[in-house]
Amino acid sequence: MNISNFIEELKRRNVIKVATAYAIAGWLIIQIATSVFPAFEFPNWTTQFVIILIGIGFPLSLIFAWAFELTPEGIKKSKEVDITESVTSRTGKKLNGIIIAVLSVAVFFLVIERVFFAKASILENDASNIETASIAVLPFVNMSSDEENEYFSDGLSEELLNGLAKIEGMQVAGRTSSFSFKGKNEDIRVIADQLEVKHILEGSVRKEGNTLRITAQLIQADNGFHLWSETYDREIESIFAIQEEITRKVVQELKVRLLPQEEIQLTERPTQDIEAYNAYLEATQIEVNRSVTSLNEAISKYEDAIRIDPTFAEAYARLAIAHYLSYGYGFERSDEQLEEVKVLIRENIDQAQLLNPNLGHTFLALGMYFGLTQELDKSEAAHLKAANLMPNDAIAQNSLFVALRDNDKDTEAYRTLEKAYHLDPLNPVVARNYANYLKDIKREFDQALRIYDQIIENYPDYMPIKAEKAWLLRDIPYGRQDEAFTYMFEAYKSEPENFNNLNQLAQIAMDVELYPYAMHIIKQVDAIYSNNSFASINLTRIFYFGTNDMPKLEDVLLELIEKEERASRENFEGQFQRLALAKGDYEEVLTSIEKTSPELLLENPAVADSNQFFTQNYIAALRKLGMNERAKKVAELYCADIPETVEDLEEGRDISWIYVMQIQCYAFLGNYDKAIEGSEKLYFEENSKANWPSLFNSNPEDIILSEEPGYVALKARILEDLHEKRANIIEFLKAEGEWRDEWEISNKN
């Protein structure tokens, strides 16, 4: 066959032009399908079907162009058309026009797609790519004969997760959420749906002596297809190379482009010593439990890792964080302990930075350190750096949320918290903060309660969340102290020395004037936390305010000043003013105001956020002394910015806050009927039922209203309701065999 003649015949029969026109048109149709079909929520197979049809049609179009020819009489077989009668040249010109037209449409589509679709993707932070590259790393199954090697398989899984999480183009489910499925034979699609990811990385580890067998498989969650799988039989010294290889393969399969810095990170080795790495992996797994005991064990393991390899930068950084957490989760705190822990944290941060100045965990520890030293701007900057270095780390994002909130940047803080929750929705620390956000800021109480219950179901030993749930039950919008007490009592029985459990039990007991039991709990707090005067002081203050035992309350305040090195009479002057109000020593309050806030005594008093507490005391004393005009003048300044209705309440304020402020201002301004009406609505309609007995004796507005007949009647109704709940609690304690005869109390008290 003469190739030149064959090519000329292809041109004459317009086969090449047909191929060109078909290829351009086919490409354009595929581009339109892939862009438009998802917008109309067509199934994925429809796009694939279009591609297959176009692929099948291409060779058929070439065969048709070769075998047939378009003539004035219609389509005929090429061999039946005399070459002198052929009109292929005219057909070729028409095909040229078609090619130009299709090309023009294709160029127009490319411009639209690149300009508008690209702009949208930028505005949405390339959400489509993130969705495609979303993944959860499930804990690899420990197949070793020694169950104690569990830490190694879990540690390997976490290191793979951390490696992927550092890559900017990835969305990686948090460690806690992924590990919550450990040991559960859950369907892959269910897991992916709960974690909002498209892919799952799972595998197994067999560690026998110095040898490893690691299997890994990447699964597309919606259909269960294995995109990639591999088995590695290596010496344990190859563990870092295996981790890098698995990470690169996942990135490759998910079509994520690595940045130059990320390429460098993949090749970095945290340590060259496997024994040190083993100790480090053990520490990271022990640390997860967040109890003081487990944190101290983790500290010991991190120290082992550093002793074995003094150049292990990541171990220094994680050790600093463990010291911070151990202090934060403990309740035996003193000034000496605070100074000691700050030194330990700083020493390990400095060592980590000396060895590797760009570790995310080092900046996380640095942010925590500056939080302890109250250098809030530095804390925020360090936490921001950590979050940027670890964009998929929920704890880094959660810590940034805390730093932003502490620095009064609430809008940014809550946006960061939402990101942390999205990354790791089953992490108890993150979920707890998110539920509190829903409760306190969004006022979505039922949703907050649902998250509390979910955390408790997944992490029954995570005690802080139980106190949060009890608090929600006892106040707005539920007001169920008896239910909150019985719930909290079960937590107390399982962990009787936990401060949160003790604190909530005492608080609820005082809510319902069950003072003998409250003092029983307070004495336990004093005994267990004898070195921490603040552990029980707030409980004791509430106790004596509630019982109206002012001499004892004064003794408590004086004892606190004596025990605390940094405390002085001046620090607690506002508390002593409240004490004087409760005792009826109104002139003493005015004398105290001369020292604390002389600006309030000016002809044109200066009311500011810095003296609000003193302003409240001042107005109450003026009212009780009959100096109503002066009281009204100061009150008008104090109440100028108080919202008039709940609808005017700014986001981030507790509903009870606006009621309390309105009640307070009505009382300060002399509108007692409105103040009483607001108190009734707050208690009986909003179900804000916490702390009322102590408020009756301590809040300035209550002191002003104390002799008003309407308020006296309302107080009686409130106490009657609380005493009904007290009776339920007493009945529960008796049924549990936890009641003592000396606690007996009349429900009419």
Instruction: Specify the DSSP element, H or E, that contains 214.
Output: strand 211-220
Q: Which segment, 60-69, 212-221, 313-322, 457-466, is predicted with the most confidence on average?
A: 313-322
The confidence score (pLDDT) of residue 103 equals 63
The confidence score (pLDDT) of residue 109 equals 57
Tell the residue number behind the tokens 């090195």, with chain if given: 565
The mean pLDDT value for 281-304 works out to 87
**Lowest-pLDDT range, 257-261, 590-594, 702-706?**
257-261
In contact, 525 and 509? CB cutoff 8 Å: no
The mean pLDDT value for 504-514 works out to 93
C-beta atoms surrounding 290 within 10 Å = 19
Per CATH, which fold does 293-532 belong to? Answer: 1.25.40
C-beta atoms surrounding 278 within 10 Å = 21
ω before 709 within 30° of 0 (cis)? no
Burial class of residue 568, CB neighbours in 10 A (0-12, 13-18, 19+): exposed
The mean pLDDT value for 429-456 works out to 91
**Lowest-pLDDT range, 75-89, 97-111, 140-154, 359-373?**
75-89
C-beta atoms surrounding 182 within 10 Å = 14
Q: What is the DSSP string of 312-347?
A: -HHHHHHHHHHHHHHHHT-S---HHHHHHHHHHHHH
The confidence score (pLDDT) of residue 119 equals 39
The confidence score (pLDDT) of residue 4 equals 65
The confidence score (pLDDT) of residue 331 equals 66
The confidence score (pLDDT) of residue 222 equals 85
Q: How far apart are CA 290 and CA 295, in angstroms?
A: 6
The mean pLDDT value for 675-679 works out to 93
Q: How far apart are CA 574 and CA 135, in angstroms?
A: 54
* Mean pLDDT, rounded, of the chain: 83
The confidence score (pLDDT) of residue 122 equals 31
- Between 704 and 29, name the one with better pLDDT: 704
686: DSSP letter: S
Class of domain 130-255: alpha beta
The mean pLDDT value for 264-281 works out to 84
258: DSSP letter: P
Structure tokens at 101: 């037209």
Q: How far apart are CA 671 and CA 100, in angstroms?
A: 83
Question: At what angle are helices 499-511 and 515-528 packed, to 10 degrees?
Answer: 160
Q: What is the DSSP string of 8-64?
A: HHHHHTTHHHHHHHHHHHHHHHHHHHHHHGGGGT--HHHHHHHHHHHHHHHHHHHHH
The mean pLDDT value for 504-530 works out to 91
Asked if pLDDT for residue 654 goes beyond 80, the answer is: no
Residue 167: pLDDT band with limits 50, 70, 90: confident
- DSSP SS3 for 410: helix
The domain locations on the chain are 3-123, 130-255, 293-532, 570-743
Backbone angles phi and psi of 254, in degrees to 5: -90, 5
- Between 123 and 343, name the one with better pLDDT: 343
The confidence score (pLDDT) of residue 722 equals 95
- Between 562 and 441, name the one with better pLDDT: 441
The confidence score (pLDDT) of residue 379 equals 95
Asked if pLDDT for residue 747 goes beyond 50, the answer is: yes
Per-residue CA distances from 441 to 156, 435, 458 (Å): 39, 10, 25
Asked if pLDDT for residue 23 goes beyond 80, the answer is: no
The confidence score (pLDDT) of residue 555 equals 86
The mean pLDDT value for 593-600 works out to 92
The confidence score (pLDDT) of residue 480 equals 94
Q: How far apart are CA 703 and CA 664, in angstroms?
A: 11
Tell the residue number behind the tokens 């603040």, with chain if given: 534
Q: How far apart are CA 452 and CA 432, in angstroms?
A: 7
**Lowest-pLDDT range, 126-140, 664-678, 717-731?**
126-140
Backbone angles phi and psi of 459, in degrees to 5: -135, 70
**Lowest-pLDDT range, 49-58, 240-249, 502-511, 621-630?**
49-58
Q: How far apart are CA 345 and CA 368, in angstroms?
A: 9
**Lowest-pLDDT range, 333-347, 444-458, 475-489?**
333-347
Tell how far CA 137 is from the center of its chain: 19
Neighbouring residues of 494: CB distance < 8 A, sequence distance ≥ 6:
none
The confidence score (pLDDT) of residue 430 equals 92
The mean pLDDT value for 420-441 works out to 90
Q: How far apart are CA 329 and CA 426, in angstroms?
A: 20
Structure tokens at 311: 């150049």
Residue 698: pLDDT band with limits 50, 70, 90: confident
Backbone angles phi and psi of 135, in degrees to 5: -155, 150
In contact, 35 and 117? CB cutoff 8 Å: yes
Instruction: Specify the DSSP element, H or E, that contains 70.
Output: strand 68-71
In DSSP terms, which residues pair with 231 in a beta bridge?
215
In contact, 531 and 525? CB cutoff 8 Å: no
In contact, 115 and 37? CB cutoff 8 Å: no
Q: How far apart are CA 302 and CA 319, in angstroms?
A: 6
In contact, 168 and 391? CB cutoff 8 Å: yes
The confidence score (pLDDT) of residue 64 equals 64
Per-residue CA distances from 531 to 282, 291, 292, 295, 356 (Å): 32, 20, 17, 21, 39
**Lowest-pLDDT range, 41-50, 84-93, 351-360, 646-655?**
84-93
In contact, 218 and 229? CB cutoff 8 Å: yes
Amino acid identity of 353? Q
Q: How far apart are CA 283 and CA 33, in angstroms?
A: 51
